[in-house]
Amino acid sequence: MPRSSTRLTFAVLATGAGVFSMLQSLIAPALPTVQHALHTSQSTVTWVMTAYLLSASVFTPILGRVGDLIGKKRTLVAVLLTVLAGCLLAALAPSIGVLIVARVIQGVGGALFPLSFGIIRDEFAPAEVSRSISNLSAVIAAGGGVGIVAAGPIVSALDYRWLFWIPVAVVAVTVLLAVRHVPESPDRSEGRVNWLGAVLLSAWLVALLLPLSQAGVWGWTSARVVGLFAAAVALFALWLFAEARSRTPLIDLGVMRLPAVWTTNTAALLFGAGIYAIWSFLPGFVQTPASAGYGFGASVTAAGLLMLPMLVAMFVSGVLSGRLEPVVGAKTLLTSGAALGALACGFLALWHDRPWQVALVAGVFGLGIGLAFASMANLIVGSVPAAQTGAATGMNANIRTIGGSIGAAVTSVLVTGRLQPSGLPHESGYTQGFALLAVLCLAAALAALLVPAGRPGRPVRSAGESPDTVAEPVVPAARG
């Protein structure tokens, strides 16, 4: 853990990032309850998740860059206040429309990840940075698992609105502690926010993620889906052109082209597909009635308990990775984490007849998630100039989210493409989906092997920077 003078700062950062990560998954098991309580349709209630995803994707890299420019603490406090407002509005929402708006506001909290990584890099002693980033990554990874496990008991004992009232209390305390105990980072980027780049980045992300999340409702060959995918390609090209010509780009494309960065981001895209698809579909698999020929007819609470080994394993392996990284290197940990994910999904495709089998495989997958989350963050932070930390780690989180959206969308096609007369998916759909996720995780492990080996303390330059302007990296580069 961080030394005593930074222990409270770490606790504040971990609480904020952990709550946001929990909000990503906390509402998913309760969507049927929300649908009934707010008298809406199934297609409409899915926007509670979609709006959050789109908002987080847009604001994570933009506000990460804003933090690099105007100060990470100032931006962190503003983001926490925004999340607090979003949770309060969600807890009081009288209609589905208001709840969706509240989820858009909550999505601003995606910037907590890059801002927290940047503050750790700026404020902690060099020897503590790698371990602290690993510990924070463990909290972020475990936060998503906590949401899946806790949703059922909270809704059963209280009400779905308490899924937001509890974060209101936690975030309010976190804001007060952040104001008092998080120091303002001295490292600042020069320049200003490239608003054209921000608008184009937002536009192509929305055009890409919206059809991925709604294709099951709209149809993959519908005009809306095809048109939005075409728009995403065109807007992405325009964004690259605008960023390349800008004197103060939102995302430094030179940094994105660094070998350690693009290879890590490729692994993040592929492994993200496995992570979010498992989180989305494994609870549904175990809740399927045994009359379908598979599944265990588990309740929401019981399904969450079967995911508990994943939660525990994610946290433990994430914390341990901070101790292992100086010995074996972040590259080895990322490769091992993705390989464990592939192993888990492969076994799950063949071995899912008993609850204990699913729980065991979930634990193995959790080990992989913990190792991969921590090593990705360390590889990015250790490979970019200090002034680019927020934007670079924000894009890494975004790329992982894009991969998750793709993985969930493709898995949905396999699972729901052919239904039984009862309306339930065939077991073969899940089997094929889990097998595909195994392949994607294996591809992520192969991408991780491409991460260049480096020497500790080796500075990294972005395009156009002289060696004198680059901050010394504070995290050992990948080895092995």
Looking at residue 218, what is its pLDDT? Answer: 86
Q: Is residue 63 part of a domain?
A: yes
Residues 291 and 349 placed together within one structural domain of the fold:
yes
Boundary of a domain, candidates 247, 263, 279: 247
The Cα–Cα gap between 168 and 26 comes to 14
163 and 36, same domain (yes or no)? yes
Q: Using an 8 Å Cβ cutoff, are 235 and 201 in contact?
A: no
Count of beta carbons in the 10 Å neighbourhood of residue 346: 18
Mean pLDDT for 404-415 is 84
Final residue in a domain of this structure, among 231, 247, 263: 247
- Model confidence pLDDT, tens digit, residues 57-98: 888 888 888 888 888 999 999 999 999 999 999 999 999 999
329: left (phi over 0), alpha (psi -120 to 50) or beta: left
Question: How many degrees, rounded to 5, is the angle at CA 258 between CA 255 and CA 263?
Answer: 120
106 and 99 Cβ atoms separated by less than 8 Å: no
Amino acid present at 77: V
3-class secondary structure, 454 = coil
Q: Are residues 291 and 367 in the same domain?
A: yes
Distance separating alpha carbons of residues 406 and 421, to the nearest angstrom: 28
Is residue 204 domain-shared with residue 147, that is, in the same domain? no
Q: Give the phi and the psi of residue 425 in degrees, each rounded to 5.
A: -65, 155
Q: How confident is the model at residue 191 (pLDDT cuts 50, 70, 90)?
A: low
CA distances from 454 to 391, 466, 470, 476, 480 (A): 22, 20, 17, 8, 8
Residues 170 and 210 in one domain: no
Question: Same domain, yes or no, for 226 and 131?
Answer: no
Quick one: average pLDDT of 11-18?
92
Spatial distance between the Cα atoms of 463 and 446, rounded to a whole number of angstroms: 27
* Structural contact between residues 278 and 289, judged by C-beta atoms closer than 8 angstroms: no
Q: Is residue 479 part of a domain?
A: no
Once rounded to an integer, what is the mean pLDDT over residues 448-474? 50
- Return d(Cα 404, Cα 337) in angstroms, integer: 16
Could you tell me if residue 451 is inside a domain? yes
Mean predicted confidence (pLDDT) in 446-451: 94
Name the one residue in this structure whose structure tokens are 């105990």: 181
pLDDT band, residue 157 (cuts 50/70/90)? confident
Selected residue with higher pLDDT from 405 and 370: 370
Which structure tokens are listed for 40? 């809406």
pLDDT at 470: 37
pLDDT at res. 235: 95
Distance CA 9, CA 205 (A): 32
The DSSP call for residue 385 is -
CA 288 to CA 309: how far, in whole Å? 20
In a domain, 305, yes or no: yes
| Residue (of 70, 73, 55) closest to 109 by Cα position | 55
Backbone φ, ψ for residue 419 (5° rounding): -110, 155
Report pLDDT for 471.
Answer: 36
- DSSP structural state of residue 110: G
pLDDT at 110 exceeding the cut of 50: yes
In a domain, 475, yes or no: no
Mean pLDDT of the chain: 85
CB-CB neighbours of 261 under 10 Å: 23
- pLDDT attached to residue 474: 36
- Domain check: are 92 and 230 in the same one? no
Q: What is the CA radius of gyration of the chain?
A: 21
Band (pLDDT 50/70/90 cuts) for residue 454 is low
- The tokens for 418 are 């052919």
Q: Are residues 300 and 338 in the same domain?
A: yes
**Residue scoring higher pLDDT (429 or 387):** 429
CATH of residue 270's domain is: 1.20.1250.20
CA distance 410 to 396: 21
Which CA distances in Å does 286 have to 151, 247, 296, 346, 449?
A: 16, 52, 5, 17, 34
CB 388 within 8 A of CB 462: yes
Most confident of 115-129, 257-271, 313-327: 257-271
pLDDT higher at 207 or 41: 207
Does 188 share its domain with 233? no
Q: What pLDDT was estimated at residue 181?
A: 86
pLDDT of residue 437: 93
In terms of domains, do 398 and 337 share one? yes
Which ranges constitute the DSSP H helices of 194-258?
A: 195-218, 223-245, 253-256
Which of 44 and 103 is assigned the larger pLDDT?
Answer: 103
One domain, residues 391 and 436: yes
pLDDT confidence of residue 456 = 39
Could you report the per-residue pLDDT of 257-299, keeping only the tens digit for each? Answer: 899 999 999 999 999 888 878 877 888 888 899 988 898 998 8
**114 Cβ partners below 8 Å, 6+ apart?**
60, 61, 63, 64, 67, 389, 390, 391, 392, 393, 394, 397
One-letter-per-residue 3-state SS of 138-150:
HHHHHHHHHHHHH
Greater confidence (103 vs 145) lies with: 103
- Predicted pLDDT at 472: 36
Domain that holds residue 28: 4-193+248-469
Cβ pair 408, 284 in contact under 8 A: no
Most confident of the ranges 201-215, 271-285, 434-448: 434-448
Rounded CA-CA distance 197/239 in Å is 6
Which residue among 247, 266, 292 closes a domain? Answer: 247
Q: What is the pLDDT of residue 51?
A: 86
Q: Within this chain, do residues 22 and 49 fall inside the same structural domain, yes or no?
A: yes
Closest CA to 143 of 378, 373, 381: 373
**Tokens representing 364?**
């193995």
Give the total number of structural domains in the chain: 2
Asked if residue 462 has pLDDT above 80, the reply is no
pTM of the model: 0.80
Strand partners, 425: 419
